[in-house]
Chains A and B, each alone.
Chain A
Amino acid sequence: AQKITQTQPGMFVQEKEAVTLDCTYDTSDPSYGLFWYKQPSSGEMIFLIYQGSYDQQNATEGRYSLNFQKARKSANLVISASQLGDSAMYFCAMREGPGNYGQNFVFGPGTRLSVLP
């Protein structure tokens, strides 16, 4: 069964607008971490933001915020004030279990974001 679902293969957003990239996950482990990565056309994987399952507040990192709805098992990425450089593939990922034991990391299929001038 798919553990990470990203239902938007592609998204368009106008420059300076906000955009939400969807991610839902599936786990029965009470301890887990959720991550978002960006992959520009050059191919490298860039870590953006992290949310722990026990974190009470939604994570924020500059223009990135994570809308964490634990009961719905969703962890949507919100990018505010989009820039042309935000055009890239975005991957949602989950680590099941606490991070100090080298657990399995699983990734979703990704969403390709295109920012229009």
Chain B
Amino acid sequence: QVQLEQSGAAVRRPGASVKISCKTSGYSFATYHVNWVRQATGQRPEWMGWVNPDGDGTAYAQTFRGRVTMTSNISISTAYMELTGLTPDDTGLYFCARGLSLGWFDPWGQGTLVTVSS
């Protein structure tokens, strides 16, 4: 079955960066985009952007543009999301999810908790 497995929780100081991996299996990696969605505790999910493994095209939400970089390694069916210039407001759960350039998200990775604290 289709699975997305994310890297583990991370704790960072303000100003640092974090890079999360999302290893996929069970489908043709190049056929779908990998989207990234952030969810602060008790808040609605917030779309961050996507990477298209077929050519490495990307699209980022305006909120994160300039601080986020999404990449992929097609040889190991893995996508990455790096966020720089972290502040405490970046604390939350970060999910990868399979999707298209615009559509629904299915399935989702288990989530990676990022905590930003001094």
| Chain A bound to chain B | no
List residues of chain A with CB under 8 Å of any chain B CB.
Answer: none
